[in-house]
Amino acid sequence: MFEMAAIVGASFTLALSGALMPGPLLTITISESARRGFPAGPLLMVGHALLELLLVVAVIQGLGSYLRRPTVIGCIALMGGLLLLYLGVDMVRSAGKLSLREEMQGTSPGYSRHPVLLGVLASISNPYWTLWWATIGLGYLVTAMEFGYAGVAAFFVGHIAADFAWYSLVSLGISRGKTFLPDSGYRHIIRFCGVFLFFFGGWFLLSAKEYLGPSLF
């Protein structure tokens, strides 16, 4: 019992250290929470958790060593960068049509993607999420596997609990303040988030170039 509690605690701390860092998932959580309210954060985390559950299962089945290959990392960075560029452009382009009051009533045109799907896309588009799992995550998961499926379950519960705790807190803070935000400020937030994702995408494409070689660009 003590071992399981230790695994949960250590996994929670490791995951929280990564969750606190800015990235695509945090950006989308902020924009979606301003639009949808508090449920956006937990729903985004459902998608994030489902993806990570699949990854944990894949790692257990022997995918860990494959994820460390430079070509694999480069391909993930390339695809992730392109997806982030698309999301960024789409957010900037749609921002001018959005109204915070209409969004709160659910009648505003704009994004129709479900937060669970966005949680999956925001996670998988970040190549450094994969790098984290291929290094820190994989190393600790291997340790947890020494305690069997109970150890793996404890690892996953601690990991995803940190993500839910942090992003739900962010979502709550954004949603509580949205009634004080005029439409112009709301649109600026959406544009800022879009630009942020766009530059993240460019950064990831540069990373892909380092892993795949300049001949592919």
Q: Are 197 and 27 in contact (CB under 8 A)?
A: yes
Share of the chain above pLDDT 70, in %: 83
- Please give the Cα distance from 61 to 151 (Å, whole number): 16
Find tokens 């994004």 and name the residue: 111
What six digits make up the tokens of 189? 């937030």
AA letter at 170: V
Please tell me the distance from the alpha carbon of residue 185 to that of residue 92, in angstroms, as a whole number.
14
Averaged pLDDT, 126-143: 74
Burial readout 134-158 (b: 16 or more C-beta within 10 A, e: otherwise): beebbebbeebeeeeeebbbbbbeb
Q: Are 158 and 3 in contact (CB under 8 A)?
A: no
Least confident of 17-21, 43-47, 143-147, 202-206: 17-21
pLDDT band at 90 (very low <50, low <70, confident <90, very high): confident
The number of CA neighbours under 13 Å toward the Cβ of 48 is 29
pTM score of the predicted model: 0.71
